[in-house]
Structure 1
Amino acid sequence: MPATTAPATPALTLAVVGTGPRGLAVLERLAVRLTEEAARARRAGRRPAAVTLRAIDSHEVGAGRIWRTDQSGWYTMNTVAGQVTMYSGGPDGGPARPGAGPSLGEWLAAHARPGERVPGPDDYAPRAVYGRYLRSVHRSIAAHLPPHARLVDHSARVDALVPLPAGGYRLTLDRPPYTLRADAVLLATGHPHKEPGDPERALLEFARSHPGVRYLPGDSAADLEPELGESAVPPGAPIAVRGLGLSFYDVLLTLTVGRGGRFVRAPDGALRYEPGGREPRILAGSRGGLPIPARGRNEKSPAHRHRALFLTPSALAAARARRAAATGGDRRLDFAEDVLPPLLKELEHVYWTAHVRARSGPRRAARFAVRHAAALREGRDTSALLARERLDGVPALDPAALARPFAGEDFTGPGDFRDRVLRALDQDLAEAALGNVGGPLKAALDVLRDIRSTIREAVDHGGLLPRSHRDAFAHGFLPLNSLLSAGPPAERVEQLRALIRQGLVEIVGPETVFRADEESGRFTVSSPRVPGSARTAAVLVDARIPSPELRRDTAPLTRSLLAQGLIREFVTVSPDGERHPTGGLDVTEGPGRVLNARGEPVAGLYALGIPTEHTRWFTQVGGGRPGAPTRFHQDADAVAAAMLADRPAPAPVPAPVPAPVPVPVPALVAPPHPATEEAPR
């Protein structure tokens, strides 16, 4: 056997399945690391091994499904343009490239199309425009890869992924080239389509058995749009809409602006709606009966960071230590006891400090903040402090009451509830106009967004006791948090108010009941708190985005991976041994390696983003924030580093056989100097 020298590093192929923001962020960090690798190799006088990046998406490579560029312009983001970036570093004067590129707001300022209204840094861009930005990031990745790397796009759905005996994976696609091989694979597949549960199946069966009746399960409104056309929902016909969250506003505009109507601002600033004449009548409701409130007018720069005083990493560490001491080692937290109280102190402190700032200016507010924070830390009554600032008559902050403003109220009829809803919308718009710094209410609620990373530290990867996770966190905190912190731009609430006044939209009432009614052969919508609220409709649309649930995911890829035992659901276990399936895809901490059915990390297989929801929290974030290394980019970089480390085992290279010593002859041409020879590329 011939002697061997140092093994040659083999080529590497990495596949990213799903190229929405999460997949794109990993490609961006891969490009940064590959560029750094090329520089190191150059300094060492060697050539790095070839790397192929395969970007695979069933909808639009570089934008994904939710942000695809062909959707209607009325679907907007709910984060202002200046606070979103896909680049892991800001502009540096050079071309936009991985590691140094513009935020969405900066990109929009330079890339507006002729006649296009350009959202400012504190405005909300259409999702299709964000998709264009994502596509530009994708192009910058392809254009700035080092010579030893290339990016290959595949517009296809991955239906199966099978480990190969020699390492790596074979991917089966639904379109040519039908099969690919990769050494490592990232699953960043985004929002799933789910099998209907028992309640949804009953509604679907009812619709199938009654001519002219249709039930549309929850999905992105852009995907539902073809099902909401005039042939399905004729002009003037009632349509029932379940859910009053962000997707409700999307459905609302599809059925109004999408039918030829328009919103017009009067000289006095009031917004009114001019019907196109083809709108249906919209009957909407939810458990709480309150349309999701608006976000406050943005007053925060991209560099703004909330400085937590109570819910801090050190506070969580201390709480875990107390839990471990009390239980003999179980460090898991109780959300209601260990997390929620300091979180509410954060909100309370910002709320009262903003009130003092609005009344007495920033210097007095700073002095108040020191005294108020100390009182909260020490558990002292703060009423005397508030009275000194003439705030004793101001209502205290009560997030639960804000989320359920109609709790305990009964109404005389639909007109009474309509007036109550309009008053609530008026009040919300007034609060939103004060801003998310100057307005005490919206400033406090914005803390729920600012402090998400610390909440993740508490809850991710089974950080909570299972029953606490289910009851206090998932069933208690999450609905409240979504309602109070994830709202739309104020303009959307203005538009809803105009449509209610126009008579095109009716919010049915609190505790809305949606029922399949055999007697009428239609769906009925009613509120037990509003006499005379019952209405019927032939079409019911669920305007709630389904929560990921691994075993109900209809994707062929997910089903194939489950059948092979390559993935598993994240299950937590209570101290008494009770198992709690979460619905999330189980992954390791750090780079998100997928765990198989036996709980072992699977070599070269990663998952990031929405598939891992419930194992981690709030994975639907669609970008980083300029000016700081956010968790979004940190996650992407951890995956990129791990994928690049998953190289196949180097193949031994036989040592060269020594050449015979040549007989010296006069040289006719001087041999080239080794340093001047150019290596082939």
Structure 2
Amino acid sequence: MRKTSAAADLTTGGDASTASDSGGHRADLTFIGAGPKTLGILLAIAANTDAGAGLRIHLVDPYPAGAGRIWRTEQSPHLWMNSRTEDITIFPDESCLLENPGIMGPTLHEWIHGPGRERLTQAGLGAEAAGLDSQSFASRRVQGHYLSAAFELALDRLGTEVHIHRARAEAVRRGEGDRGFVVTTSDGAEIATDVLVSAQGHLDMHTAEQDAVLADRAAASAGHDLYYQAPGYTADLDFSGIPAGAEVLTRGFGLAFLDFMVMVTEGRGGEFVDDGERLRYRPSGTEPVLWVGSSRGVSYSPKLGYSQVDVPGAPAVALRYLDRVSERTGSVGGDRRGSGQRLGESSRFIEFDAVLGPLFELELTYAHYEHVLWKRGIDAPELLERIDATAERVRAGRIGADGAEATTGAVFETIAEAARDVITDEADLFDLDRINRPLADLRCDDLSSAEASVRDHISGQLKRSADVHHSADLAVFTALVKAYVQIRMLVRDGRVSNGDRTEFVEGSFHSLFSFIGSGPPPKRVRQILALHEAGFVRFLGPGLSIDAAAAGFTARSTAYPEAKTFTHLVDARLARQSAEKAADPVLETLRADGRLLLETAAHAKLRTDGAGRALDAHGRAQCDLFLLGPAVSGSTAEAFTRPQTGAPVFADNERIAGAILDAVAAGSDRRELLAG
């Protein structure tokens, strides 16, 4: 394996692509979806020396190439990223092991203050760019320009003409002689292509049954004027139907809520004023009042306000257990929740609840206590040894599994007891359940008391996130990210069953990861508190449940006995990805033609082989059809990532790009053979 090389600049420039005509087109390779995932594949193709030269490539996407839908440059300036500029790159670096020298380039931070400055200034974003440092959270518009510049670099390195269709793919059918595909776009173009790649990112879903009930209730509310907004991407939703002063029941307290919150406050002309001591909100008079609740009842944990450089000498965080989990043989059982193996294989799976889940928690527990012992100068190696010994028992199948010698809860309690013997500060103890569900046991006599508890918790988390005294939280965050990536790689490699992936990895585990590790910038949390103080954000608390009736939507929380009824309801979340429920005409057509294989599991995904080739209804890999994205089983969904982490997405891109180029070459050979 060789490390990447061949660094490159991203210079400013205009749209280097060519506009398409209506009518017929001939392509070697067509991508449906031209966002960051496709950009990563194009960069990998361009890095494969001269392999992409001369290819006829078509891209079909109604949104700008490179940036795509989520990161398009024409959207509200109030919508931010939730990662710091220094933590974002679309390019591999020297930490990545690749077969070919990759096309290297700047991180978002380096680009903003280097080759991207002129481009941002020309786009009217010069003032924002000047105020961004490595720890800043840029707007999504800035990220869109970064990705657009990277796309132009990819085009330059490809050295070939790329046709861009700013349109939707409406239909797809097999080509003549059952070779290749013909893609029909919404602007009337037909593209006959040898190889087709679907890389559409998050897909829109058909309305889920429970959401449809709420929508139908709102539509049938004669005389009650009920309003319901189903899950969706905030930038694409129209909230103009929510009048000033309306009390809005808002389900979901994650990143989608924050987008909604800012769009109907600052986005309606309100203003946040920082007086140094606190953040205050100056209303415009057009705001609704958002009553927010969720299962946890609190906002996602804010990003930490310090980094590793603020904790010199701290123990390095590395995986201790999950990176060796594939070596084990105990507690690897059959799939109890649906088949997850590739057709023709006899592989077995590592159970999540008996093995992966406990080892994940032990990774975080070890990282926390190793840091606390170092930080506080406590000599207690026996605590860390107990965690290691527990991990070995988990790996051997002696904890948590059927017939095991101990339950998972019991062994974690023994670790907690050992920690309490040597650590005197309650704030230095680690309890993942308490972190994940901080208000699960909250019981109050009334709503106002519950609101105060929610406010105090959010305020306390904001203060803690800025306090380097609690730098063990950074160690836990680092372990969390490494463990998350490792488990996702096990999913990709077919070591986790479909059932476990659906229930745990994409369910409770992903929810925990998002809550702890994918939270908002601290300023967003300050804005929540400022809006609460101003009376525009109210807290319903944890354990939220909703009942729909003719008079409205009634919300209840487990924290207090009162119920409250609303005429306006917004589901502030994205619909969970499911290929079966995808509202996408191309995938629906391919499924109807038997070109796609769907998993047999809840929230089913599409099946591919290890190189992204789609499996047909009989489980056969199709060399000319590739599937990428969140609705695809085993696909590495992310496109950009953190630099200097050896992120696997770049090796995945290289492998998939190689398979695509092989397929293109095979298609060309077939055409030449037929022509001869």
Q: Does 1:554 align with 2:583?
A: yes
Tell me, in whole angstroms, the C-alpha distance in 2 between the residues paired with 1:548 and 1:104: 28
Aligned twin of 2:305 = 297
How far the C-alpha of 1:357 sits from its partner, in A, is 3.2
Q: Is the 8 A contact 1:29 1:88 kept in 2?
A: no
Offset of 1:461 from its aligned partner?
6.1
Partner of 2:398 in structure 1?
Answer: none
Q: Distance in 1 between matches of 2:63 and 2:361?
A: 41
Contact kept, 8 Å, 1:319 with 1:333, in 2: the verdict is: no
Which of 651, 656, 664 is matched with 1:639 structurally? 656
Q: Does 1:431 align with 2:439?
A: no
SS state of the match for residue 609, structure 2? coil
The answer (yes or no) to whether the contact 1:512–1:528 under 8 Å persists in 2 is yes
Matching residue within 297, 309, 317 for 2:327: 317
In structure 2, what residue type is equivalent to 1:238? Answer: E
Report if the CA contact (8 A) 1:568-1:585 is conserved. yes
Which position in structure 2 is the counterpart of 1:679? none
**Distance apart, 1:569 and its partner CA:** 1.2
Instruction: State the TM-score, normalizing by the size of structure 2.
Output: 0.81
Match of 1:417 in 2: 450
Match of 1:45 in 2: none
Map 1:560-575 to 2 at 5 A: 560-571=589-600
Alpha carbons of structure 1 residues 400 and 628: separation in structure 2 relative to 1, 3 Å: closer
The alignment's TM-score, normalised by the length of structure 1, stands at 0.81
- Count of residues in correspondence between the two structures: 598
Matched, 1:534 2:558: no
Question: Cα 1:581–1:528, aligned 2, differ >3 Å: closer, same or farther?
Answer: closer
2:183 equivalent in structure 1:
171
**Aligned-partner Cα distance in 2 for 1:155–1:542:** 30
> Residue in 2 aligned with 1:216?
229
Q: In structure 2, what is the Cα distance between the partners aligned to 1:25 and 1:209? A: 46
Aligned CA RMSD, in angstroms, stands at 3.2
State the shift of 1:494 in Å.
1.2
Q: Residues 629 and 467 of structure 1: is their aligned pair in 2 closer, same or farther, counting only changes over 3 Å?
A: closer
Q: Give yes or no for the alignment of 1:406 onto 2:421.
A: no
CA distance in 2, matches of 1:215, 1:629: 44
The counterpart of 1:262, out of the listed 268, 271, 283, is 271
Contact 1:55–1:152 under 8 Å retained in 2: yes
Is contact 1:306-1:451 (8 Å) kept? no
Match of 1:42?
none
- 2-structure distance, mates of 1:393, 1:190: 43
Q: Distance in 2 between matches of 1:632 and 1:81?
A: 19
Give 1:503's match in structure 2, choosing from 528, 535, 557: 535
Output aligned runs, 1:183-198, within 5 Å: 183-198=194-209
In 1: Cα distance, 2:175 partner to 2:308 partner: 50
The correspondence for 1:490, drawn from 499, 518, 522, is 522
CA change 1:98–1:152 in 2 (3 A) is farther
* Residue of structure 2 equivalent to 1:441: 473
Structure 2 counterparts to residues 42-191 of structure 1, below 5 A: 50-89=54-93, 99-110=103-114, 111-112=116-117, 113=121, 114-117=126-129, 118-146=131-159, 149-166=160-177, 167-176=179-188, 178-191=189-202
Q: How far has the Cα of 1:339 moved from its partner?
A: 0.7
For the residues of structure 2 that align with 1:198 and 1:388, how far apart are their CA atoms?
Answer: 51
Cα distance change, pair 241–653 in 1 and its aligned pair in 2 (3 A): closer
CA distance in structure 2 between the partners assigned to 1:469 and 1:144 by the alignment: 38
Counterparts in 2 of 1:273 and 1:357: CA distance versus 1, 3 Å:
farther
- Between the two proteins, what is the percent identity of the paired residues? 24
Q: CA deviation at 1:181?
A: 1.7
Q: Summarize deviations over 1:348-403 as a string: whole Å, max 9, x none.
A: 11111222333239xx79x8997576555566966797578644755532222222
Question: Cα offset for 1:247?
Answer: 0.4
1:625 aligns with 2:647: no
The aligned counterpart of 2:373 is: 356
Structure 2 distance, partners of 1:75, 1:319, is: 47
Q: Structure 2: how far apart are the matches of 1:497 and 1:442?
A: 24
For structure 2, the residue ranges without an aligned partner over 5 or more in a row are 1-25, 96-100, 310-314, 335-344, 394-410
Which of 481, 505, 526 lines up with 2:513 in the alignment? 481
Assess if the C-alpha contact under 8 Å between 2:499 and 2:602 holds in 1.
no
Note if 1:245 corresponds to 2:254.
yes
Residue 237 of structure 2 is aligned to residue 233 of structure 1: no
1:13 to 4, 7, 28: 28
Structure 1's unaligned 5+ residue stretches are 1-10, 39-47, 92-96, 572-579, 656-681
CA distance in 2, matches of 1:103, 1:491: 23
Structure whose CA Rg is larger: 1
2:280 to 265, 269, 272: 272
C-alpha contact (below 8 Å) 1:431/1:442 kept by paired residues: no
Partners of 2:329 and 2:441 lie apart in 1 by 36
CA distance in 2, matches of 1:583, 1:420: 39
Shift of 1:452: 2.1
8 A Cα contact 2:253 2:294, kept in partner:
yes
Task: Indicate conservation of the 8 Å contact 1:13/1:52, yes or no.
Answer: yes
Distance of 2:535 and 2:156 partners within structure 1: 52
**Residue 606 in 1 paired to residue 614 in 2?**
no
Offset at residue 277 of structure 1 (A): 1.6
What is residue 292 of structure 2 aligned with on the other side? 284
Would you say the 8 A contact 2:35–2:67 is kept in 1? yes
Cα deviation 1:623-680 (Å, max 9, x = unaligned)? 033235422212211121111111222525999xxxxxxxxxxxxxxxxxxxxxxxxx
CA distance in 1, matches of 2:305, 2:465: 6
Aligned-residue offset at 1:252: 0.6
Cα distance in 2 between the residues matched to 1:377 and 1:205: 50
Work out whether residues 29 and 58 of structure 2, in 8 Å CA contact, stay in contact via their aligned partners in 1. yes
- Listed as ranges, the matches of 1:646-665 within 5 Å are 646=663, 647=665, 648=667, 649=669, 651=672
Q: Which residue identity does 1:596 align to in structure 2?
A: D
1:616 correspondence with 2:616: no
In the TM superposition, residue 529 of structure 1 has moved relative to its aligned partner by: 3.0
Secondary structure at 1:611 match in 2: coil
Residues 372 and 428 of structure 2 are in contact (CA less than 8 Å); yes or no, is this contact kept in structure 1?
A: no
Where 1:236 maps in the other structure, the secondary structure is: coil
For the 8 Å contact 2:383–2:419, the answer to whether it is kept is no
Moved more, 405-414 or 499-508: 405-414
* Counterpart residue identity of residue 315, structure 1: V
Contact 1:323 1:330 in 2 (8 A): no
Q: Per-residue deviation at 1:432?
A: 1.2
